[in-house]
Structure formats: structure tokens, C-alpha cells
Structure 1
């Protein structure tokens, strides 16, 4: 009776599915329509990936900075390095371009050579006035423009590093967008529809190549690249996996239903994003493709099982029932382990990773039910498989491959262990070479014009990624105290000594410029005022700052005059280099600014991203251990045998170690994209283990608990499906290597490699371990009766099966 009840559960599910086909199809249609209506809620993320928890101290400091000074990533820079720039035609076109940009409501401030202002002393008002640096009426004279260039480079140190590079002769303009639109869709509309066309018009008119960069510009074009790749990945993965599916089964109708199922799965994924009001990020953008790559193997396994059953007894009804009753639990468990690999990200405190984990795991589980329900229903309406559709079960290349696996396991088990141990030791040495990277722009597409522009600004102006330092004097108007300014000057000298950082910008620059202006613009006086000069020079500077509505320095002191802001820009540097720079800056800051009198905070988007990468690295081991623990519990639940847990983990941990070794040897760093590889690949690789062990348990029962006979029967029975599904997964994840994003390429390539090693490990090392670790098995007591039925069927069950 106990066995009948256990068999009856999946038979009951099979009968519900096959007796209520139209009703179930209607329910699927309703769900699809409902989730399709949620697409209207889908939005794209307009900010960089924040990998840190909201309550992390680094995030709190960054948010406090934004509250005080507003969005720091609102600067767009337009650069040029061309001798033709200081000619009447080009300069007139430049003046027109900057005037048009300045007139846009989306632009807060433009600082450019054509309307540059310089400080002039007004003795009568005891203040400085901003007067035009360029007389527009004279710009038709080429000699005048050359004199302007010379005067700028020699007498305007205040703008050096901001508007020009004295050494290389590069020129740029600083365009500050309205902070309210920086993290909205309006930013994209402005840059794509208005800003870029103006840049292109200038280039067409003058023949001068302009370089454009800055975080708002980079974010926009990078986001557009991600959106374009979503359709590329979906199309390429669907085409490739469908072709492989057709190659295996040589059946248009089998291929058609597989495509239909994964397309519905993709629609459900987008619907879930809309239902939960999640944004499309660089991670969630990958989920639709993952659904296709994981869904096709599900279809392969179920279709292959249907054809195997029909080939065995020729009864279509029984074959359809057994697709559900014989593999229901095993397929459920394989999908749960895959989902568990993604679900491990839910335990992190990062919202970005949580959303990715939730959407991917829900999509995978939903896909399982779609496959398990739709495939039997579909084939119930189709004619029985023809002989040509069953040829793949005995195709020559699959038979040769499986025979080779059998011979290797039977006669060369010792060599399998030697190779496995050798690969493990070599991989450990490689894994020790792995470096980390926390760069915001490292994974951006290298062949795009905006990335080449990033490189230009790194070479000419030491980078475009802002690093922000705030100095709290703990008293109102404390920033303008000469003692504070001197400390800031000493600290900024340290910043200037670091080659990866640009010349810093702060209120200090204005104070130095004020002294230069006081001495009639003599650049030799671009320095802090002395104690004797401070009373009148600082009063001039305060009045200038107070009276100027269009002052570039207005965002570098808070409204109370208590907190000063120092901005510098970084080159594209790795996590290790960033940590060294940070340590050097903190060492100087702690020395210059006593903690009892000053509070110093280092923040900025680049630093937050670097800390987020480090957070992921710190949580990598715990996340992977959680995945191992979760999947081990599923194994215990399935087999109720600790020995089987050990047997199942070893063949799947070895491929992960090999992947880590390859990363070390080939210089692929640990970064947000590659960190995901291990949990995802582990969850996918374990699927083959479950298929193998589940089939092994059935063969034990059918072969009177004879281990060796059961192992080789399992290889013959499950080997083809494991081979097919692994090939599809390998090819599917290889699609990500079409990406222009380095991180996505690394993610796809590394997972594909891991799964290839995982297939060989599960087909060779796993049966060897089963044979070795179960030598003492004399009867079925090694396999305690599991909590749930897994592929356990006998003649009594067959008698229960009734045709539709």
C-alpha cells in the first residue's frame, strides 16, 4: 500500500494534467496575459549598480553627501585636441555649440573657454567681479585667438585640469546637468535626442573630432548598449539552442514546442519584473536569456524520456504518463537545485543581488512547471513518434561517446582519480593568482566610441570618475578660516602627487584665484593669502562667492560654511590599487585633520562601487557555502544517505576549482560579474548529478542491488540526456560571449567552461566514486527508503497505468 500511494502521487498529477488539458492550457494563457499586462511597469535602471546594502556605512556616507551637495555625477565634459580649434571658423562653431547647450533647461551650468569668466578686482566695491575672458567680437582674428590660447595656458592656473591640459594642449568644456534629471529617463532623452545631435553637427561643420564623457553620458550610452544586448542574447540563444535541439531530435514539432515554452517563460520573466516593479539592471537583463538556456535542456530531458518510453513499449498513453510519473520528482529537484544556485543571492543584503536572485529563481521554477505540463499535453495531441525521430537514441556518435565513458570508468578508474587530483592541485595554484577588480568602467564595451573617449580623458585629464572628500570643520563658517584652508592645501598636494588622480577642485581654488586677481591676475600669486593678506583678500572672495549666481564654486561649501568639498577624478584602476590610494589619502587626512576638530569622509560613486565589489568578495564564500548546504539538504531529502551527499558534491566542486584556476592563469579578475559564476554554475552542474543518482537508484532496484551493473546501466540510460543538456547549456551560455561587455563575456565563458567540466566530471568521476565508495554495499540498506519517490517503478506500477 505504501508503494502504491507513492506511485499514485505522480500518477495523480499526470491524470490531472492529461484529463484537463484544455482547462490547464486556458490557465496558462490567462497567466501569460496577466503577466504581459505587467510589462508596462518595467523600467530601466538609470544609476550604476549599487552592490552594497542600504544600511552599509559607505552607502550612508554617500547618501549624506548627496543630501548636502546634491548628485555628484552630473558633469559632462566635451574635449578636443586639435590645432584647428583656435581658428575663427572652428571657434565660432564652438561658441555656437556651447551657447545652444547652455540655453537648454536640462543644463545647470556650462564652463567653457568661449564665455570664460575671470576675476577682476573692484577696489571701490571691495569685491571681485567676473568679467569675460574672451572678446567675442575679436574672435574672427586668428592672431587674437592664438593670444587667447597663450594667455589661458600661462595665466589661468585656476582652470588648469578643469578646462585645459597645459602639457598636452587639450581643451575641454565642463557641462553641469540639472541634478534633478541625472537619475531619470529625462537624462537619456536629453542626451540622445538633443545633446548628441548637436555634437555631431559641430563635427560635421568643422571636421574636428570631439570627445565626450562624464558619468551622465557614460551611463546613458552604456544603458542603451545593455538594452540592445537583451534582444541580441534572446535571439541568439533561442536560435542556437533550437538548432541544437533540432539536430538532436530531427523533429520540427518537438523543436516548435520547446521554442514556444521558453518564449512563454521569457514573457513570464518580464511580467515578474513588472509585477514586482523591479528595474532592468545589468544582472536582471540576463535572466530572459537564462530562461531560454535552462528551459531548452528541460525540454530535451522530458522529450527524450517520452521517446525512450515509447520506444520501449510502444504505448503512447503510458509514455505520456511516465514523462510525469517517472521523472517528475527528479526534474523538480534538478530545477530546484538550479534555482537554489540563484536563490543564494537573496540572502545578501544587496538589493541588486536580491532582485536578481528572486526573479531568476522564480523564473526557473515557473519554467519547470511549464515544461512538465505543456510537453505531455502537446504530445497528447500529436501523432506517435516516427522511426526517424527515435534514431537519435542509437545514433553512432552518442553510442561511441557513451561506450568510451563506460570503458574509462570500467578499466581506467585509477587514471580518472589521478587526472582529477592533478587538475585539483594545478587549479589551486591558479586560484591563488586571482586578483580583484572594482572598476566602474572595466566591463564597458571596449569597441564603442564612448569607451575610447573615456581613454582619451584618462590620458589627457587623469580620469572622469569622481572621488569626493568632505571636510567638516564642526563649526559654522569654519571652512573660510585660513588655518582650515592651509590644511586643505596640504591635503590637496598629496592628491596631486598621486598619478591616478586628477588635480582637485575645491573652494581652495577660488581663494587662490582671488589672491591672483587681487594682484592684477599675476599667476605667480596663485596661492593662499598670508596672515597679513587674509583679512581683505578673503573678504573679497566671500563677496564674490555671495554675489555670483553662476559660480562654479557654489557647490563646494555647504550653506552654513561648515563643510568643504574636495573633488578629484580617478583613472580606471583596480580594487587593489584603489585600496592603496585610499590608504595613502587616509594617512594624510588623519595627520592633517585632527579627529577632535574635523570629520573627514571619503565617498563618490567610484569608491562606492569598489566597496561593493569588496563586499561581494567577502560574501562569495558564504554564498557558495550556502548553495552547497542547500543542495546537500536536497540530496539528503532525496536519498537519505550521507555517502550520496559526499559522492554528489565532489564531482561538482572540482569544476568550480578548475574555473577558479583558469581565472588565475588567464588573468581574469574577481569582479561583480565573475563572482556570480560559482553559485550559478554549481546549481546547474548538480542537475546532472541528480539525474545520474536518481537513475542509479532505479537501476539498483531493477538489478537486484548489484552496484557495478547498475552504474553502467545508469551511464547508458542517462548519459545521452546528460550529454544533450550539457551541450545545450554550454552553447547557450557561450552566447553571452557575443557581448561587448567584458563582464558578460567572462560570465558566459566561465559558466560554459565550468559546465563542460561538470558534464565530464558527472559522467566519469561520479560513477567512479559510486563504485569505490559503495564497495561494501551488499544489499539495499545503503539506500534508506527516501522521503519522496524518485524513479522507483515496478510491474505493480505499470499495472496502475491506464491509457488516456
Structure 2
């Protein structure tokens, strides 16, 4: 199994695109991708050049020009959509020799870098007059210039970013004095995370294995013996990861943690077996017979702990997030695989050890346990737990109430850029550029015309079409077009394609059909022009007012839309002064400005903000924060504004863009996690009732789990840590592992109570070998996760810290609360018996 799984490893594919947190047919994702296609929107890398003083110097602008030229040569960069001072247009008035306006002039803003300060300041002045560029390409404080690099595919962003870093590092020192280069943007953040995640996978899992190996050596002081659980752990990890890769699943941020999760979990049953075997084995005993007796004791609790742990992870398959489903399925299966390998391999391995090896093991265990700190500490803890029962109960109730208050303070929030440490170059670039510019995070607000087909025009069109002779070829082609349009559920028959068809037919149709075709062209052309709702000044005025109101909230740094293009061109068509920075009063006037704009060097830029049939329009919002909470505020404000200020036509709106998709999948994940936690909680409780054949013991088994979850999430709320993707996954691990300790504790206590005759001596015996095994397991798992604390990636650090805390806390709650409650209940039962 290991060999076959290793053969699958070369097929590894990394995926860190948060878009894949939603299924491919999720409505928000479908609309997002449709919007990218409709408006030719690209994934962008943002390159910032920042100066300590003014950026408008000949040297700085020369750097901008040279860097832009070299970036255009990089494979994977979409050259025609690059945004830089050297490739965008300046829009001015064309004047005759008398200084009178003679139309509009489009020329490159910076065809080549100026050689003088005067020329540099002229460019600065020109940018300030262009709302589409001001505070997008040049910062409001004039200390930074940005280059927006559109890329063909998101997974190329890391390679392209590295090439840009290489280019920027090769400029002469005198040219870039006082200049800093920064690269950010969600695509490069996500792709760079994937690269570093791949490195982390190769470092964290071996470190975890090394830490566990060292810890097992400390506990058992016997290399031949501790090799066995390490073999089980390594085999489990390799088989599960190989199966995942071999089945064609990509390794997402979630599944990248499978190895580090399974490594410590896979050895816990082995630790129980080794602990009890070391306790029971005496020199001269038959190892096979001893291990059979150990397995008879441990098989049932190990089976139930493995099943409950697996259920905790399998419950993640109830979430609507594909990578979370994969993570839950493979971790759950890995836990069951580890159980199967443990009960088959460990006894076989132990029974083949030599008597000399086993004698050394027994001597080491006896020496360590009789005088060890762990043994002494557990005996003291047992005495405290059984004597201070009421104090313990009051203390845990108080902690639970404080934790519930903390849980109520949790805020759901995530931002892929924050997956890096604060001193990472991505985080630094993000902070610096968002301080200077309107924002490197974007969201797209798409407006769509809801008005149906022009019924009067359609009836008139069909009536004229019916006047063709029966076998007219033109009529056949037009009817076929209508049929295809109907089957494709097009919003309108009267579109550019119909006009092109009618125009073509006028060249090929018979003479007697020309009059009919002319009538059809007139009807279609009038209906098509009437349907171009985003040429309507009233609608554009509403959009402009919306932009101003949104800007006034401070939630967005800037918005760019069709109205900005129209106003800018309209100003230059007239006086060139601010008084004419307005929208034309008629649709024809709007159409004229856009016709003028299409004579620029970048006519394709228009179609980023409106579709060619003028049925849809896009607003590009720039924000200085990519936090979900921030984007949610923008979405909520927009909904309230449109409710209070309805649009002048039958227009609907929808959101797209990466920042909005993050909200959608985060909400889906949180709701899915809550559902999975509740459902698995109920299933595990029922299993506990069946296992112990007691409702009371079922409740007791769930108490450490309940308290651990509430206390951990309460702590998250109190310290102000956002509820993000790695935090959400912790609930499954907490449920799966916290119950393990309770099962072992209660099962062994009941066995000892039957054997010794009463609860008190049973609890005293529990704080010998059984509690040491529980403590060792908690320590092994906690230490197994600590290598994650050395990671440069925040999700790994978060998981490492909280999982180590969960293990320590759940073991402590089990060893303190359960004996206290059992002692308290037994005392009350004895009191009732004495009274009766």
C-alpha cells in the first residue's frame, strides 16, 4: 500500500485559489466567472513604486517606463490590458492655431519618460485631471505609482511576480535611490501561499515526526519498540496522501494539513498499547500472551475513540465547501486506517521482539514511572480531583459561563493576505500600497437591464417578416436566427448580431426583397437603440450619485464606472474646464462621447465597464482592506442605498469579484461547520450511550468535549482572534480527539470499579498507569503539532497553537472534572442508600 501510494506522489497539484472553496456550479462563482467574460476583467498583480518624496521626478518616471516595457515582455502578461502611465491615454482638447477647440485629442500620457522636472510635473497635472487614473495609477499623495499587471491565469502569478522582482532588483542604484518596490494583489498572495505551503508540507510533517519520535524515546527509552508506532504513523500519512493525489484531488490549504494532522493522531492508540504493555510485562513473560491481554482491555475503547474521531472529521463532509469535504473525508479515513494498522501491526511487532529488548523496556518504564515527575503530578491531581469536588464543579461552571460570553464575541473574518506573517513581503506591500492608493482590493458591482423584449417592435418585425414570399431565402435565414435566439434564451432578439445578419442579407437578397429588408433594418435598429439602457443620462446620473455617496462613507477608496468616462470625454469636447465635467442631457450625447472614446489607443477599456449591447454595466470598487467584514459593510450599505434610492429603470444588481466571493464561501463554511458540529455531536452522544449502556455515562463522556470546545472558542472570542478557515476546522478536531480521553477514562474506571469493588480505589488506580497513558497521548499529540508554530504561514501557526492547547485542555478537563463528578455522584448515591 505504501509503495503504490508513493508512486502517486509525482502527480501532486497545489491549489490555493479561494474561489475553489465554492463548488463549480455555485451561483456566486458562476456569476463571477460570467462577469469576467462579459467585461473582459482580468486577475491583476499590483506593482507599486514608492518614493519618500514626490514620485514625479525624471528618474522615477524613467523607472516606471522601463519596468512597464520589460513587464510587457513577460510570458503570461496580457499586454493590451496592462495599466501603466506609459501605455494609457491623456484626454485633452484638440485646438487650432487660434486656440479654439477643434475636437478631442487622445495621446499617450507618457510616451517616453520626461528628462526634466517640468515635464514630470506636467504628467502629474494631467493625471489629476483623469478620474480613471487618479489614485489608481498615481497615489493621492503623489508619492507612489502603480502598475496593474493583468495575467492569463491565476496560477502564473507567483512566477510572474518573481520575474518582476528580478527586473526591479537589476535597476542601477542611482536610478532607484529613494525608491521601494512592492508587489501585492490577491492572485499573487494566493499563488505565493501555494508555493510556501508546498515548502511547509515538506518541512512540518518530518519535524512533527521527529518531535513525536523524540517524545516516545523519552517515554519508553527503547528504539526497537518506538519504531513500531512511527511505522504506523508514516504508513498512514503516505497511504492517505498518496490516495488523495492518486484519485485526482488537488492539495488545497486544508488538505495540505492532512499529514501534520494524521502524524500525531496515528500514534495515540500505539501509545496506549505500549504504556499498558510496559506496565504488564514482566521478565520471562511471553510477549504474545501479554499483548493479547492488553488488546482485550484496550480494543473496545480504541475502537470507539477511532470511530468518534473519524465521525468528527467525516461530519465536515456536510459542509458545502469542496476542500473541507475532501479534508474531512481523508482525515476520517486516515484515522480508521491508523486504527486498523495499529491493531494488526503493533501486536505482531511486539510479539517478535527479543526478550533482551523487552527486559530493557520494562526496566526503563519501572525506573521512570516510580520516580517520574509525571507519575507524582498525576497522583496529586487525582487526590485534588476526588477531594475538592464542589470547588471543581463551581470552577468549571464559572469557566463555562465566561467561555459562552467569549463565544458571543467571535467575529467571522478572513483575508488571504493575512495568511502571511506581518513581516512577510506580501503583507508589507499590502500595507504600504493601501496606505498610498485608493485600494488594491476590488469588488465588482454589476447592473443589468431587466426589461424584456420590446413587444410592439417584435410584433411589427414579425408582421413585416411575414410579407416575404414563402420560399424567400432571406426569410428562412431570419427565422432560423429567431429560432436559435429563442432556444438560447437571449435577453433580446434586437441585438448587434441581428443587425449584422440583416446588413449581410441586403447584399445577397433578391431585388424584390430589398424593401422588406430595409423596413426590418429600421425596426431592429430603432429597437436596438431603445434597448441600450446604459446610454440613458438619467441612469448614468443615478450611478454617478451612487458613486459619490459610496465614496463619502469612507468604505471604498474609489470607484470607476461608465459615468466617469463619459464625464471626462464630455469635458474635453466642450470647454476643457470643470464646469463641463458633467453628463450629456441626451442619450445621443452619451453615445457621441463613447464614440469619441473608441478612437483612443485603448478603446477596449470601455468594454470593462459596459457590455457592447449596453445591457449591463460594471462599477469597479477599490478598497484598502480585503477583510470579509469590510466588504460586507459595503454590500450592506449598497443594499440600503438602492432600497432608499431606486434606480430610474428596471435594473437589477449583483456582486462579483474575489472580495465578494470570500464573503460567500466564508458564510457557507461557518453555517456548514455549525451543522456538521451539531450533527456529529448528537451522533457521538448516542454512541457514548450505546458504548456505556448508560445515559448518565453518555453525558459524562460528552462533558470534557463540551467544555473544551466552549473554552477554546471562548478564548478565541476574548482575545479578539477572527473566526477564519483554520479556526473553523478546529471544531471537528476538538470533537474527534477530546472525546478520546473521556472514553478511555470512563471505560477503565468502570472496569476497575468492578474489579476492586468500589469507586474510590478504582479512581486511585486510574491515576496510576491509565492516567499516565492519557497524559502521554495528550503530550504526544500536542508536541506533534508544535512544529507548525515555526511556519511562516499564519493558518499553520493558528492550527498548531490551538490544537496543542486543545489537547492539553481536554486531557486536563478529563482528569479533573470526570473524577470530581463521579465522586460527587457516588457520594450522593451512598447518602441516599444510608438514609433508606
TM-score range, shorter chain: 0.7 to 0.9
CA distance in 1, matches of 2:443, 2:780: 44
Aligned CA distance change for structure 1 residues 36 and 573 (closer, same or farther; 3 Å): closer
618-627 or 32-41, larger mean C-alpha shift: 618-627
Give runs of aligned pairs for residues 392-791 of structure 1, distance below 5 A: 392-474=368-450, 476-519=531-574, 521-523=576-578, 525-531=580-586, 535-536=588-589, 538-545=591-598, 551-572=604-625, 574-594=627-647, 597-704=650-757, 706-773=758-825
**Cα deviation, residue 279, structure 1:** 1.4
Q: 2:292 & 2:34 partners in 1: Cα distance?
A: 61
Deviations 1:426-483 (A, max 9, x none): 2223333322224343333221111111111221123222111001123642212222
Aligned-partner Cα distance in 2 for 1:720–1:423: 26
Question: Shift of the alpha carbon at 1:588?
Answer: 1.8
Q: Does 1:43 align with 2:8?
A: no
Residue 202 to residue 502, structure 1, CA distance change in 2 (3 Å): farther
What is the rounded CA distance, in whole Å, between the counterparts of 2:61 and 2:34 in structure 1? 41
Equivalent in the alignment of 2:141: 167
> Is the CA contact 1:84–1:90 (under 8 Å) kept in the aligned structure 2?
no
Residue equivalent to 2:524: none
Q: Kindly state the Cα deviation for residue 348 of structure 1 after the two structures are TM-superposed.
A: 1.4
The question of whether the paired residues in 1 share the 8 Å contact of 2:389 and 2:824 is answered with no
Distance 2:763 2:375 in 1: 17
Q: Quick one: distance in 2 between partners of 1:623 and 1:410? A: 35
Cα separation, 2, equivalents of 1:349 and 1:234: 28
The 8 Å contact of residues 409 and 768 in structure 1, kept in 2 or not, is answered as yes
Query: How many angstroms does 1:57 deviate by?
Result: 4.4
> What is the CA distance between 1:732 and its match in structure 2?
2.3
Further displaced range: 415-424 or 255-264? 255-264
User: Is this contact kept in 1: 2:45–2:161, CA < 8 A?
Assistant: no
Contact preservation (8 Å) 2:19, 2:661: no
Structure 1 residues 168 and 122, CA, compared in 2 at 3 Å: closer, same or farther? closer
In the alignment, is residue 201 of structure 1 matched against residue 176 of structure 2?
Answer: no
Change (3 A) 1:151 1:464: closer
CA separation in 2, counterparts of 1:548 and 1:558?
19
Q: Does 1:114 align with 2:169?
A: no
**Structure-1 residue corresponding to 2:514:** none
Distance 1:474 1:621 in 2: 37
Q: What SS is found at the alignment partner of 2:584?
A: coil
- Give the match for residue 210 of structure 1: 181
1:114-513 superposed matches below 5 A: 114-120=86-92, 130-136=106-112, 139-153=114-128, 155-178=129-152, 181-182=153-154, 184=155, 186-192=156-162, 194-202=163-171, 206-207=176-177, 208-311=179-282, 314-384=285-355, 385=358, 386=360, 387-391=362-366, 392-474=368-450, 476-513=531-568
> For the residues of structure 2 that align with 1:359 and 1:203, how far apart are their CA atoms?
52
Q: Secondary structure at the match of 1:479?
A: helix
How far off is 1:402 after superposition?
2.3
660 and 134 in structure 1: CA distance in 2 versus 1, 3 angstrom threshold: closer
Aligned mates of 2:241, 2:553 — CA distance in 1:
46
Secondary structure, in 3 states, of the residue corresponding to 2:375? helix
Pick closer, same or farther for the CA change 1:752–1:650 going to 2, 3 Å: same
How far apart are 1:369 and its partner, in Å?
1.9
**Following the alignment from structure 2 to structure 1, what is the Cα–Cα distance between the partners of residues 122 and 608?**
32
Deviates more, 1:354-363 or 1:406-415: 406-415
Pairwise CA distance, 1:713: 2.3
Question: How far off its partner does 1:382 sit?
Answer: 2.2
Equivalent-residue separation in structure 2 for 1:588 and 1:616 (angstroms): 28
Q: Report the Cα offset of residue 249 of structure 1.
A: 1.1
- Which segment is superposed worse, 682-691 or 383-392? 383-392
Per-residue CA deviation, residues 62-93 of structure 1 (Å, 9 max, x unaligned), is 34434433555335343323447544444333
Larger Rg: 2
Backbone CA RMSD of aligned residues: 2.8
What is the DSSP-based 3-state SS (H/G/I as helix, E as strand, rest coil) of the residue aligned with 1:658? Answer: helix
Q: Which moved more, 1:612-621 or 1:91-100?
A: 612-621
In structure 1, what is the Cα distance between the partners aligned to 2:133 and 2:450? Answer: 30
Aligned length: 738
Gaps of 5+ in 1: 1-30, 779-804
CA contact (8 A) 2:93 2:572 kept: yes
Secondary structure of the residue that 1:165 maps to in structure 2?
coil
